Amino acid sequence: MKVRFLFGPVLVLGVTLAAGQGSAPQAPTPPSIPLERRMPIDEPGQVQQQPGPPKVDAAQLQREASELAKLAGEIPTAVDQAGKGVISKDLNDRLKRIEKLSKQLRRELFQ
């Protein structure tokens, strides 16, 4: 009879312990990342400042823009003359210079 009284509480205790072990699975721990492969997101406490906008020489930009406007203003006259059969020797050079100046201005302004 005494065995029955001990069997009941031991059974309840065993079931309670077994149920508690399987109810909370733990996630695996991620491996540590080597220092040379770490990205800024791996260390959120450290914030890297982005370099500021590049220094732009306003006077140089103005000179290039003025030269570009002057060359572009000469093109319609040269095209009219080309329609009449007279092509300027330096028309190709002026068009190349316009292209070079526009690319250079774009690169300096929108880096």
Look at residue 70 and tell me if it is in a domain. Answer: yes
Q: What is the mean pLDDT of the chain?
A: 78
pLDDT, tens digit, 9 for 90 and up, residues 97-108 = 999 999 999 999
**pTM of the predicted model over 0.75:** no
Look at residue 22 and tell me if it is in a domain. Answer: no
3-class secondary-structure state, position 1: coil
Overall number of domains in the chain: 1
pLDDT at 48: 59
* Domain carrying residue 64: 55-111
Look at residue 8 and tell me if it is in a domain. Answer: no
Residue 8, classified by CB atoms within 10 Å of its CB into exposed (0-12), middle (13-18) or buried (19+), is exposed
Look at residue 34 and tell me if it is in a domain. Answer: no
Q: Which range, of 1-5, 15-19, 107-111, averages the lowest pLDDT? A: 1-5
User: Beta-carbon neighbour count of residue 92 at 10 Å?
Assistant: 10
pLDDT, tens digit, 9 for 90 and up, residues 57-94 = 889 999 999 999 999 999 999 999 999 999 999 999 99
pLDDT, tens digit, 9 for 90 and up, residues 16-52 = 656 555 555 667 776 776 766 666 665 656 555 666 6
